Amino acid sequence: MYSIIPRLNISFLVLTAKKSVFSVLNTIELNKMQVFTQKRNPITGSTEWDVQHEDYDYHQEIARSAFADMLHDTERNKKYHRALQLAIEKMHRNGKKANVLDIGTGTGLLSIMAVKCGADSVTACEAFKPMADCCVKILQRNGVADKIKIIPKRSTDLIVGDDGDMPERANILVTEVFDTELIGEGALSTFDHAHKHLLEEDCIVVPDSAVIYAQVVECPMLQKWNKLNDLVDEDLNLILRTPESVITATGKAQAVFMWWELNMDTEVTPMLI
């Protein structure tokens, strides 16, 4: 059985049983809990897998990952904190308890913010168990371990009910499951499942919305990183042809720069991150 766990700028492919992986060149025998780490080649721009020994220390990857960068992103953290504060205050003004769900909690930072902002309950899930274990220690060091329930599961595996992971649906969702492409870590399916199974209908989501921007550029170096293949059918007939006259400026369309912004709250001046 295989499971891929993407976390920030690294991913882990974990094999939970003995398997043989066949390739054109060779066959590799993989023992229980053999681990691959996914990393980006800075020269080619492609993503590659590195085979690690079963004794591989996950915590070293955590230390080298972007978790620390996020923790020190003061401006981002202030906006998340303010958005959580507004969401919790709104629930209390409406006479409701503020029940927060934190998906992909990582170090637990957003869950701690929710507690500090007055949340009545906080449930946090983290699928990567070494990170979840680290989070438990962080909560203990910050004196909030008794106020935040950590569940080492994917959010799509959470069960709501008396005998489940959450006694009731949450009415506030906070999450930071975004990557450089915004939705590359499965954000759309995560939000869709949460709304259907984990959240109340009138819930507040932090962040509230997002906008993706794209700009076509001419850059021979970037063009070398990726090659676009022709789109053909089974008989090798060309399906997609180059459109006629769609340019607005002279030059070659060799790459697309993309960036995105998050709108943390729509009821006040938009807070973009």
Q: Is 176 known to be catalytic?
A: yes
CA dist 202 and 169 (Å) reads 11
- Do β-strands 121-125 and 199-206 pair in parallel, antiparallel, or remain unpaired? unpaired
Q: What is the DSSP letter of 90?
A: H
Contacts 24+ apart (CB under 8 A), 137-144: 138/107, 138/108, 139/108, 139/111, 139/112, 142/112, 144/111, 144/112, 144/115
What residues form DSSP beta bridges with 166?
160
Q: How many residues does the chain have?
A: 273
Q: Residue 203 in contact with residue 173, Cβ under 8 Å?
A: yes
Set 48, 61, 185, 201: catalytic member: 185
Provide the 10 A C-beta neighbour count for residue 33.
Answer: 13
Instruction: Point out the catalytic residue in the list 176, 200, 261, 267.
Output: 176
Dihedral of CA atoms 108, 109, 115, 120 in degrees, nearest 10, equals -50
234 is catalytic: no
Query: Quick one: DSSP state of residue 238?
Result: B
Task: Single out the residue of 113, 115, 110 nearest to residue 146, CA to CA.
Answer: 115
Q: How far apart are CA 146 and CA 140, in angstroms?
A: 8
Element (H, E) at 209: strand 209-217
Helix axes 109-116, 74-93, angle to 10 degrees: 40
Residue positions annotated with a catalytic role: 176, 185
